[in-house]
Amino acid sequence: MALDLQDSPGHVQLALDALKRTLPQKAFEFFAPRFSSLDTPLDGSESGSQPPIPDANDFNLRTAQNQLPMGAQEGFNIPKPDISGRDLFETRSAIGSNCWVVAGAKTRSGLPILANDPHLELRVPNTWYRIAYSWRLSGSANYVCGVSIPGAPPVVIGSNGHVVWGLTFSDIDADDVVLVETRADDSNLYLTPQGWRPLENCSESIRVRGREPETLRFQTTIWGPIVGRTADGNLQALQQIIDQNGTVNLNRLKLETAGTVEEALATAKISGIPNLNFLVADTAGKIGWTIMGPIAHRNRLRWTIGRFLVGWFLSMG
């Protein structure tokens, strides 16, 4: 489920890296703009003007073959990282979701309306099942209903009679692809902030009835598994936020006793789940939105050895 909700880990970074290495700067800015006409920042800031269309002096498609830097074409063909020959990335159908909420001031009853539609792939057991339960605590009656996911503590999406909440796909870029430098005289050693370190060989096996287990073999680093190689030979490691220590917890269970939008939003800020849109409404007519789950705060860190790497630390929500 976490892999589904993170959406094609590393693909965006790998595609942008290939474009950056292949295209002249003005062509790259046009084909990979930071913003589009469909972007509307919530803080009201301007997204900026669209990059101009590159002319023939910037990038001539008729002679592009001769304009590409050495090794650029190979950069688009990411080699299979799995020692057994299988590709870690598989083509899969696009998924998405939507959620909206109307404040009580806009409804006839004075209560807010929340609609939640998470689009997820079908699977066995089924993705969702309905759930409802009640309990008494210190003489107070509590009730929760909604839907949950097999194997997950209840309730993932639902209401406790005071607060109703929904979760949908956020499409936040929470992963990084890290360029890994190996030593010239020993390709099994790679450079870290603490010095040279050997790549770790790993394998995962799945038992299959009536046949030999399927085994996936791969190499990993302090950032994550090796997923490819650039045209100039640097290995690429995938750093996923969901794999970092402290990014998964059960704090979201506090939603079951939240009484207001403010309490629910505070719970969302400390909840360790895959990054999701979190919409909430309460019986007082208030509504709210935030991102639930840890988010990477990225900044550039200069190594003492003179190389650059994307560094980041975690925050919840």
Tens of pLDDT, residue by residue over 92-128, are 555 567 889 999 899 998 889 999 888 777 778 888 8
Confirm whether 227 is domain-assigned.
no
| 181 inside domain | no
Do the beta carbons of residue 286 and residue 259 sit within 8 Å?
no
pLDDT of residue 85 exceeding 60, the answer is no
Q: Look at residue 137 in the predicted model and tell me its pLDDT.
A: 83
**Is residue 50 domain-resident?**
no
Report the distance separating Cα 276 and Cα 165, nearest Å. 12
Would you state the structure tokens that stand for residue 309, as one six-digit string? Answer: 């790497």
pLDDT (0 to 100) of residue 191: 94
Whether 270 is covered by a domain: the verdict is: yes
How many domains does the structure of the chain reveal? Answer: 1
Q: What is the pLDDT of residue 297?
A: 73
Q: Is the pLDDT of residue 299 over 50?
A: yes
List residues bridging with 40 in a β-sheet: none
* Residue-level pLDDT at 243: 81
Please name the amino acid found at residue 298: R
- Complete DSSP assignment for 108-156: SSSS-EEEEEE-----SS-S-EEEEEEEEETTEEEEEEEEE-TTSPS-S
- As a dihedral over the C-alpha atoms of residue 15, residue 21, residue 25, residue 29, rounded to 10 degrees, the angle is 0
Say which residue the tokens 């020959």 belong to.
Answer: 85
Q: Tell me which residue of 13, 80, 18 sits closest to 223, measured CA to CA.
A: 13
Residue 134 maps to a domain: yes
Widest distance between CA atoms in the chain: 79
* Model confidence band, residue 46 (pLDDT cutoffs 50, 70, 90): low
**CATH code at 103?**
3.60.20.10
Is residue 254 domain-resident? yes
pTM, rounded to two decimals: 0.75
Domain that holds residue 257: 97-171+245-296
pLDDT band for position 151 (cuts 50, 70, 90): confident
Cα–Cα distances (Å) from 202 to 59, 225, 245, 316, in that order, read: 43, 9, 19, 30
Identify the pLDDT of residue 198: 97
- Lookup: tokens for 294: 């840890």
Does residue 256 lie in a domain region?
Answer: yes
Count CB neighbours of 154 within 10 A: 17
Q: CA 60 to CA 188: how far, in whole Å? A: 41
pLDDT for position 253: 93
Token readout for 147 is 């839907």
The pLDDT of residue 155: 92
CA distance 218 to 220: 7
- Residue 226 falls inside a structural domain: no
> pLDDT at position 62, please?
74
- Top mean-pLDDT range of 9-13, 199-203, 271-275, 306-310: 199-203
pLDDT of 229 > 90? The answer is no
CA dihedral 99→104→109→111, nearest 10 degrees, is 70
Query: Residue 213 carries which DSSP code?
Result: P
Q: Are 237 and 229 in contact (CB under 8 A)?
A: no
Peptide bond into 156 cis (omega under 30): no
Partner residues linked to 228 by β-bridges:
236
- 247: Cβ contacts below 8 Å, ≥ 6 apart: 241, 272, 293, 294, 314
